[in-house]
Amino acid sequence: MILFLVAPAAFSPFAAAQDLREAARLDAEGKCAEAEPHYAAALARAPDSPVVLNNAGNHYLICGQPEKAEALFARLLRLDPLHLNANVQSARIALERRQGAKALEFLARIKSADPQVLVLRAEALALAGRKSEAPAALDEAERRVQNDPRLLYLLGLTCGRLGYYERAERAFQQALSLAPGEFEILFQLGRAAARAEHYERAQRALETALRIRPGNLDVLVELGKVCAARQDYVRAVFFLAQARQQAPKNAEIVLLLARAAEDAGYYDDAAAAYDDYLRLRPADDAARRDRARACGHTEGRREEARKELEWYLGKHPKDPLGHYVYAQLFWHEEPERSLEHLTEAARLDPDSVAIRYSRAWMLQRAGQMAESLTDLEAARRLDPDNARVLDLMGMAYLALDQPDRAEKAFREAHVRAPEEPEFVLHLGRALMALGREEEAQVWLDKYQKIRPPASPALRKRLGMIDLVPLDVRRQRERAIEHFRREARDHPDHPNFQLHLASLLLADGRTDEALAEFRRLLTLNAGAQIFEDAGRVLLTAGQYALARQMLDRAVGERPSARLHLATALFYAEGPAPALECLRQIPPEQASGDALLLEAAILEAAGRRVEAVQRLDEGLRRSPTQPSVVERAVVLLVRLERLAEALALLEKAIQANPQEPGPALTKAVILGLMGRLAEAERVARQVQGRWPELDRAYLVHALLLERGNRSREALGMLRTARSLGAHDPNLECAEARLRGAPLQSPECRCRTGLEQLLIPVCAAQP
């Protein structure tokens, strides 16, 4: 907005007057090119006329030629150093060039207290390094603008440029009340409110502006930014995608779209948008890093993501975010390497809460509870109110037998996030460890009411480090909605359908999940997808549907035959399961296949054959957790505990993300009388999988074996609060309370052995 202090007018009977009148008309119509000859003619006839010089200078300003305007105003000021408009416009030109001191020289010649001049002076003072003096000039201008929307608009623009966003917002709001529906005012109000972080108000103003000018590019971009700031990423993508259609070569818009799509969970779309951006800006290495992050969350581009990050870190080894992104993507399959990257990221950026928290989280997953405290204490200093940091500190203290410190940390976490179920559970555990059973039971009962239904054995591994700080409910809902959308939008990618069905099953929505699994059967999925689906369904005890999935996989996936045999065993009995396994050529039979056959033979009462297959299988280094645990049962029955322990150690190394082998190891150590080691393993499992009820039952039976009845009862209460329905729990509770063991089942469920053997040890 250019506000002329001296407007064109008819003056004296010189020949130039006619040219100026015609030029002014053309300027008013926005016809700069047509007006140009008239100003040239007027300047030729009256080169020293203040009016001609002034109006020609204004013309060149509004037509985007500030250099010509500056030259004309300079000539005018040599004739009249106090000329108001020439000084004002010269000051403006200087401000556009960020020359505050020069602008002040022009403004010093103006004695008027006009609001426009005061606003310009405030900006000039700030640019000249005298920012502390600027607010007084703005205050005076604000008092003088009164009810003029043009001056309020000018004031708002200046406040915005100086970073006084709330003042800018207030000025634009006043201007809008005087000129309702004015597009420019609405747009600038939205921008100012956004920069003041008043996002709801910004969105209202910008959406109103968009209704006035549908499809306006600037408004669409600003709305996209505001929605992203409000974490409404889906709407951000909606607006930015429209903006991109209008300006497909605008690199800034394409990059904004890529980031919004990534935040919305549209990883394929995000990766594609990053591709487009990098075609426009191929030298932007940071964008290549970010594209790798998006690719790492897609099924088909993970290897590309790995190569891109390795290239990036080779070129930028001192970028902590690059190391963090690597850990974000590959922590599950490469825990040790990811921890190394997080260690380097923490060294390069020790003041990042996210990096410190993530490294502590990884250390705890590796069982290094004491080591995690250094990062957690640093994270807490940086962000004292972070509830997730406090909770993780409590977990470390609990694992280190410092329940008093754990209780304090958990209470602080609960105060900051009172609806977070995990914090309630953890506080109950700490109180139980302190011997305050009644108080602990109150918290455990509360957890039972608000706990998420997700089964830890089925929970989808998409937590990724960037999602770890989210509460469980948000993790679950975000993941389900993401894969529901992807499955419907991309039926040619059945892996999305598998993820959706698995997450619904983990969320306790069994009927809905089974319907989605059946829909998977109608898709053109590969053998790998059907094998994975069968494995998930086996874990959930859905044997009939698991068999349908595995039948489709077994022709191309030899590994699926083991799962199919398991499904047949539970659905139809030992004979069909053994027949399935015997279709594997003897020379191709893996250790896992032989151990599974041994377990089924044992169940069929054919122990001699079972032992023979067991010994053969042990020699072939089996590692599959479900098979190993069945073999361990047979080894326990044969009283070969040392071999069982060695087998479990190999399974734990091969499957560090599975809790089952570690818990079974704790049981075996307990049976061997190594109670301190067993209890340490049980605590490690509780630390990594705090929602796993079986971990507390195992710990309770270990404590019972060590004659620590009170502590054992506390562990049993925790297991019950987490939903445990194991009959061993009821029997152990009765024993510990000294109640008579009247039921035949409890008379033979005498302790740790029955955690491995689902029937009484005396039975075959």
CA distances to 203, 239, 240, 261, 716 from 199, rounded to whole Å, are 6, 15, 17, 19, 49
Three-state SS sequence of 338-363: HHHHHHHHHHHCCCCHHHHHHHHHHH
Buried b (16+ CB within 10 A) or exposed e, 589-612: bbbbbbbbbbbbbbbbebbeebbe
Q: How many CA atoms lie within 13 A of 637 on its CB side?
A: 25
CB atoms within 10 A of CB 173: 17
Q: Mean pLDDT, to the nearest integer, of 290-308?
A: 92
Domain 661-764, second-level architecture:
Alpha Horseshoe (1.25)
Kindly tell me if the per-residue pLDDT of 91 is higher than 90.
no
What pLDDT is attached to residue 460?
Answer: 34
Q: What angle do CA 453, 518, 477 make, to 5 degrees?
A: 30
Q: Mean pLDDT, to the nearest integer, of 112-126?
A: 78
Residue 349 C-alpha from the chain's centroid: 20
CA distance 259 to 423: 32
CB 39 within 8 A of CB 23: yes
Kindly tell me if the per-residue pLDDT of 455 is higher than 50.
no
Of 671, 649, 672, the residue nearest 662 (C-alpha)? 649
Residue 440: DSSP 8-state? H
In whole numbers, what is the pLDDT of the chain averaged over residues? 85
Phi then psi dihedrals of residue 574, to 5 deg: -65, -40
- Give the contacts of 202 (CB within 8 A, at least 6 positions apart): 189, 190, 191, 192, 193, 194, 222, 226
CA distance 524 to 508: 27
- Give the contacts of 173 (CB within 8 A, at least 6 positions apart): 189
- Summarised one tens digit per residue, pLDDT across range 730-749 is 888 888 887 766 677 777 77
Selected residue with higher pLDDT from 482 and 191: 191
- Summarised one tens digit per residue, pLDDT across range 316-328 is 999 999 999 999 9
Q: What is the CATH number of domain 318-380?
A: 1.25.40.10
CA distance 505 to 480: 11
Kindly tell me if the per-residue pLDDT of 469 is higher than 70.
no
Kindly tell me if the per-residue pLDDT of 587 is higher than 90.
no
Residues in the chain: 764
Q: Do domains 385-450 and 661-764 have the same CATH topology?
A: yes
CB 486 within 8 A of CB 300: no
What pLDDT is attached to residue 6?
Answer: 37
The mean-pLDDT minimum among 598-612, 655-669, 735-749 falls in 735-749
The mean-pLDDT minimum among 85-94, 234-243, 483-492 falls in 483-492
Selected residue with higher pLDDT from 222 and 64: 222
Instruction: Report the range out of 79-83, 140-144, 353-357, 729-733 with the highest average pLDDT.
Output: 353-357
Of 489, 467, 550, 292, the residue nearest 500 (C-alpha)? 489
CA distance 659 to 240: 44
What pLDDT is attached to residue 464?
Answer: 36
What pLDDT is attached to residue 462?
Answer: 36
What pLDDT is attached to residue 323?
Answer: 97
Residue with token string 């994270």: 379
What pLDDT is attached to residue 272?
Answer: 94
CA distance 526 to 8: 77
What pLDDT is attached to residue 295?
Answer: 94
Confidence of residue 473 (pLDDT cuts 50, 70, 90): low
Q: Mean pLDDT, to the nearest integer, of 93-102?
A: 86
Q: Mean pLDDT, to the nearest integer, of 98-124?
A: 81
- Give the contacts of 464 (CB within 8 A, at least 6 positions apart): 297, 328, 329, 331
Kindly tell me if the per-residue pLDDT of 463 is higher than 60.
no
- Give the contacts of 558 (CB within 8 A, at least 6 positions apart): 584, 588
Q: Mean pLDDT, to the nearest integer, of 113-124?
A: 78
Tokens of 676: 């301190």
CA distance 112 to 94: 19
Terminal C-alpha separation, the chain: 92
CA distances to 233, 240, 299 from 291, rounded to whole Å, are 17, 18, 14
Kindly tell me if the per-residue pLDDT of 2 is higher than 60.
no
Domain boundaries, the chain: 318-380, 385-450, 454-525, 661-764
CA distance 138 to 157: 12
Q: Mean pLDDT, to the nearest integer, of 28-52?
A: 85
> What 3-state DSSP class applies to 65?
coil
Confidence of residue 207 (pLDDT cuts 50, 70, 90): very high
What pLDDT is attached to residue 215?
Answer: 92
- Give the contacts of 56 (CB within 8 A, at least 6 positions apart): 39, 42, 43, 72
What pLDDT is attached to residue 475?
Answer: 59
Selected residue with higher pLDDT from 307 and 460: 307
Three-state SS sequence of 160-220: HHCCCHHHHHHHHHHHHHHCCCCHHHHHHHHHHHHHCCCHHHHHHHHHHHHHHCCCCHHHH
- Summarised one tens digit per residue, pLDDT across range 622-648 is 777 878 888 888 888 888 899 989 988
CB 292 within 8 A of CB 325: yes
Kindly tell me if the per-residue pLDDT of 537 is higher than 70.
yes
CA distance 92 to 106: 9
Type and span of the H or E element at 373: helix 369-382
Confidence of residue 5 (pLDDT cuts 50, 70, 90): very low
What pLDDT is attached to residue 10?
Answer: 37
Confidence of residue 515 (pLDDT cuts 50, 70, 90): very high
CATH 1.25.40.10 corresponds to the domain 385-450: yes
- Summarised one tens digit per residue, pLDDT across range 273-288 is 999 999 999 999 999 9
Q: Mean pLDDT, to the nearest integer, of 513-532?
A: 89
CA distance 372 to 437: 28
Q: Mean pLDDT, to the nearest integer, of 81-90?
A: 88
What pLDDT is attached to residue 224?
Answer: 96
Kindly tell me if the per-residue pLDDT of 1 is higher than 60.
no
Residue with token string 């109950």: 428
What pLDDT is attached to residue 261?
Answer: 92
CA distance 363 to 400: 14
